[in-house]
Amino acid sequence: MISKENLGGKVKLKRALISVYDKTNVLKMANFLKSKGVEIISTGGTYKYLKENGIEVKEVSEVTGFEEILDGRVKTLHPAIHGGILAVRSKKEHMDEIKKKGIEPIDMVVVNLYPFFDKVDEDLSFDEKMEFIDIGGPTMIRAAAKNFKDVIVLTDINDYDRVIDEIESLGDVSFEFRKKLAGKVFNLMSAYDGAISNFLLGEDSYNDYLSFTYKKAQNLRYGENPHQSAAYYVKTCGKGAMKDFEVLNGKELSYNNIKDMDIAWKVVNEFDTTVCCALKHNTPCGVAEGVNVLDAYTKAYECDSISIFGGIVAFNRKVDKETAKELVKIFLEIVIAPDFDEDALSVLRRKKNLRIIKCSVKPSGAVEFAKVDGGILVQSPDNKLIENINVVTEAQPNKSQIEDMIFGMKVVKYVKSNAIVIVKDKKTVGIGGGQVNRIWAAKEALERAVQVNKISSSKESLEEAGKGSILASDAFFPFDDVVEEAAKYKIGAIIQPGGSIRDKDSIEACNKHKIAMVFTGIRHFKH
Q: Does residue 146 have an active-site annotation? A: yes
- Cα 145 from Cα 85, distance rounded (Å): 9
Q: Which of 420, 421, 193 is nearest to 287 (CA)?
A: 421
Name the strand (E) or helix (H) holding 152: strand 152-154
Q: Which of 149, 184, 281, 488 is catalytic?
A: 281
Which of these is catalytic: 82, 146, 180, 513? Answer: 146
Is residue 372 left, alpha or beta, with left meaning phi > 0 and alpha meaning psi from -120 to 50?
beta
Distances (CA, A) of 369 to 212, 248, 378: 10, 29, 5
Helix, strand, coil percentages in the chain from 3-state DSSP, rounded to 5: 40, 20, 45
Is the distance from CB of 399 to CB of 408 less than 8 angstroms? no
Residue type, 119: K
Q: Exposed e or buried b for every residue in 199-213, given b needs 16+ CB within 10 A?
A: beeebeeeeeeebbb
Listed in sequence order, the residues at least 6 apart from 253 whose beta carbon sits closer than 8 Å to its beta carbon are 220, 232, 247, 261, 334, 355
Sign of CA dihedral 195, 198, 203, 207: negative
Annotation marks residue 216 as catalytic: no
Distance from C-alpha of 362 to C-alpha of 360, rounded to nearest angstrom: 6
Which amino acid is located at 54 in the chain?
Answer: G
Give the active site residues: 146, 281
